[in-house]
């Protein structure tokens, strides 16, 4: 929204073009510097203009409407306009003969004033009234909302997915629950029914009904289409390893494309606080670290595609071809696979049905406000679960860590265990699993089971966050790259069996460290078999993979 659009609007509507021009002229002469003057010649046109202003996040300070207009009277227009901008001040323009009707309308539709036509001189008969109306509006103004707006149900999985996508990609947005009055006004302006949520309204005023991830990414200005069809390096996955590879690849002169399925940062990007990353003695949130890395990569010239799912990898001579879900593809001299891992689905009845409606995988920071003064349960015993517990403990009534093992020591950093032990509203239930999730439309309770005794307990719970297991989700590479029994990608010496190179290996050398079973394809981060599951090591592997890419390109 430019400077002119940011000004509050004075709107006048009159079916007589001469009167309409005269009103706009007099208003512009006195109020044009601080306000935007808009005129219309019918109530329908004026309402259409107001709907556009509403969707674009603008403000309306004063509405002036002629009492007698064909099709829609001034009173009918002001009634409809009140539904969109209830804080705008309202006045009727009326002839002397209609004075009694105009006075009656003040009580019927809460009109603030009426103005007799003609109003000459305006300094005596027009401006004092407008001054008073503008002052009344200034005492209780609308809030300008120029960022993306999301309207949805609190307990709706699609609404959560939309909010989560925007938040994880650092796109500013304003959330409106469907039962809020402002949500009703926005839906009316968009002329969208409340049963078609979520609705996303972009800063330019466009309304999207339940948009796909790619459509949403396109609408908010994210890049989803590659600039060219061939690169030196394609990085698949935008977690710490992928971002590290993009930064080092682009900074060293490689034409680099990074492709991310959902949001850069991966699991680390969802972390509320990373306190053991080198160079950040006070800790840093995953979102902050991700944003800095993303900006650093683009500053060096890396191209980042978001909301693009990679579904295939193929060797075509010296090229490595990456295929997207829609069938399109790009080619490169080399590829780095850095797709990370996903949290394992919780195998408990009820959780699938309530996913996104109280059951969440990862920290889901968008739900933090909803957890205020509530009892929150977190499943998992590694660092990500511990960091989430500390984060939610700031506002939640209580936070309970549900851990299958006998203690946290086997999987969580010592500093984090010490930190958790010092927070009064965090408790740890070891040797415990979630047996079942309960709820009608959203999560309402859990059944917990102690693994040693078999005893069960029912607890009230509206929010469950799951941080368990590590699934590499490399099915799309089956038959292309060698994987271990759990699906992690084998690299370097791990590919050698009895000192024999992988079957079909064409190069007259052994695979280099981080190199997969296809020459020129490298693996970095958590998706690699036997990798160290830490942010620092993932970034280091991303940088090391680029060094090996240079070696590969030099030898090719």
Do residue 14 and residue 131 come from a single domain? Answer: yes
C-alpha 327, offset from chain centre: 26
Catalogue the E-assigned strands of 224-302.
230-236, 256-260
For 19-40, the pLDDT digits (tens) are 889 999 999 999 999 999 999 9
Do residue 380 and residue 402 come from a single domain? Answer: yes
* Cβ contact 61:137 at 8 Å: yes
Ranges 273-287, 350-364, 378-392: which has the least confidence: 273-287
Domain extent at residue 292: 230-342+471-555
Q: Retrieve residue 413's tokens.
A: 């950093």
| Radius of gyration from C-alpha coordinates of the chain | 30
Q: Is position 385 within any domain?
A: yes
Residue 2's pLDDT is 54
Q: How far is CA 459 from CA 204, 424, 436, in A?
A: 46, 19, 11
Whole-number Å distance between alpha carbons of 495 and 492: 6
Kindly give the residue spans of alpha helices, DSSP state H, lying in 177-233.
Answer: 181-190, 213-219
Q: Is position 352 within any domain?
A: no
Of 466, 501, 522, which marks where a domain is finished? 466
* Cβ contact 427:439 at 8 Å: no
CA angle 209, 88, 70 (to 5 degrees): 80
Do residue 372 and residue 320 come from a single domain? Answer: no
Q: Is position 175 within any domain?
A: yes
Q: Tell me the average pLDDT across 360-387.
A: 90
Q: Is position 13 within any domain?
A: yes
User: Phi then psi for 117, rounded to 5 degrees?
Assistant: -100, 140
46: DSSP letter: H
* Cβ contact 450:458 at 8 Å: no
Could you tell me which of 325, 195, 179, 353 has the C-alpha nearest to residue 259?
A: 325
- Structurally, the chain folds into a number of domains equal to 4
Q: For 73-83, b where at least 16 C-beta lie within 10 A, e where not — what string? A: bbbebbbbbbe
pLDDT band at 282 (very low <50, low <70, confident <90, very high): confident
Do residue 191 and residue 204 come from a single domain? Answer: yes
Q: Is position 225 within any domain?
A: no
CATH of residue 387: 3.50.50.60
Quickly tell me which residue has 């039962």 as its tokens. Answer: 179
Do residue 121 and residue 11 come from a single domain? Answer: yes
Q: Is position 286 within any domain?
A: yes
CATH of residue 15: 3.40.50.2300
How do the residues of the chain divide into helix, strand and coil, expressed in percent and rounded to 5?
35, 25, 45
Q: Is position 224 within any domain?
A: no
Sign of CA dihedral 542, 547, 553, 556: negative
Do residue 10 and residue 105 come from a single domain? Answer: yes
Residue 98's pLDDT is 66
Q: Is position 347 within any domain?
A: no
For 481-533, the pLDDT digits (tens) are 999 999 999 999 999 987 889 888 998 999 999 999 999 999 999 999 999 88
């Amino acid at each position: 929204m430019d400077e002119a659009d940011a000004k509050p609007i004075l709107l006048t509507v009159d079916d007589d073009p001469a009167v309409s021009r005269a009103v706009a002229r007099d208003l512009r002469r006195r109020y044009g510097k601080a306000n935007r003057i808009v005129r219309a010649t019918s109530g329908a046109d004026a309402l259409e203009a107001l709907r556009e202003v509403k969707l674009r996040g603008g403000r309306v300070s004063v509405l002036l409407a002629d009492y007698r207009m064909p099709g829609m009277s001034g009173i009918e227009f002001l009634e409809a306009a009140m539904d969109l901008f209830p804080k705008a001040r309202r006045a009727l323009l009326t002839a002397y003969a209609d004075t009694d009707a105009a006075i009656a309308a003040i009580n019927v539709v809460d009109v603030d004033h009426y103005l007799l036509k003609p109003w000459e001189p305006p300094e005596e008969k027009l401006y004092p009234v407008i001054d008073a109306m503008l002052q009344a509006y200034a005492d209780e103004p609308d809030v300008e909302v120029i960022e993306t707006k999301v309207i949805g149900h609190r307990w709706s999985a699609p609404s959560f997915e939309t909010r989560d996508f925007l938040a994880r990609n650092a796109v500013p947005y304003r959330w409106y629950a469907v039962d809020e009055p402002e949500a009703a006004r926005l839906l009316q302006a968009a002329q969208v029914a409340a049963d078609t949520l979520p609705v996303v309204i972009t800063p330019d005023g466009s309304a999207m009904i339940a948009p796909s991830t790619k459509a949403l990414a396109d609408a908010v200005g994210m890049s989803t289409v590659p600039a060219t069809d061939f690169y030196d390096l394609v990085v698949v996955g935008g977690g710490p390893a992928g971002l590290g590879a993009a930064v080092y690849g682009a900074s060293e002169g490689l034409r680099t494309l990074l492709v991310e399925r959902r949001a850069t940062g991966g699991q680390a990007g969802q972390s509320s606080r990373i306190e053991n990353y080198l160079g950040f003695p006070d800790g840093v949130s995953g979102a902050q670290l991700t944003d800095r890395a993303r900006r650093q990569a683009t500053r060096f010239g890396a191209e980042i595609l978001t909301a693009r799912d990679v579904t295939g990898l193929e060797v075509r001579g010296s090229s490595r071809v990456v295929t997207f879900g829609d069938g399109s593809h790009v080619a490169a001299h080399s590829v780095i696979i850095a797709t990370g891992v996903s949290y394992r689905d919780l195998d408990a009845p009820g959780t699938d049905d309530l996913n996104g409606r109280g059951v969440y995988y990862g920290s889901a920071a968008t739900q933090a406000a909803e957890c205020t003064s509530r009892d929150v349960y977190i499943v998992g015993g590694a660092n990500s679960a511990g960091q989430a517990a500390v984060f939610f403990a700031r506002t939640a009534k209580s936070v309970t860590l549900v851990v299958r093992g006998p203690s946290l020591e086997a999987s969580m950093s010592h500093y984090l265990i010490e930190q958790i032990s010092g927070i009064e509203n965090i408790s740890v239930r070891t040797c415990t699993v979630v047996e079942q999730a309960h709820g009608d439309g959203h999560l309402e309770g859990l059944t917990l089971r102690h693994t040693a005794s078999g005893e069960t307990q029912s607890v009230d719970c509206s929010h469950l966050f799951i941080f368990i297991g590590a699934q590499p989700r490399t099915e799309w590479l089956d038959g292309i790259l060698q994987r271990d029994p759990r699906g992690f990608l084998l690299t370097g010496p791990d590919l050698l069996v009895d000192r024999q190179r992988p079957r079909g290996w064409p190069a007259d050398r052994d695979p280099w460290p981080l190199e997969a079973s296809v020459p020129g394809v490298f693996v970095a981060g958590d998706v690699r078999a036997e990798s160290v599951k830490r942010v620092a090591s993932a970034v280091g592997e991303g940088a090391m993979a680029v060094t090996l890419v240079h070696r590969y390109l030099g030898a090719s």
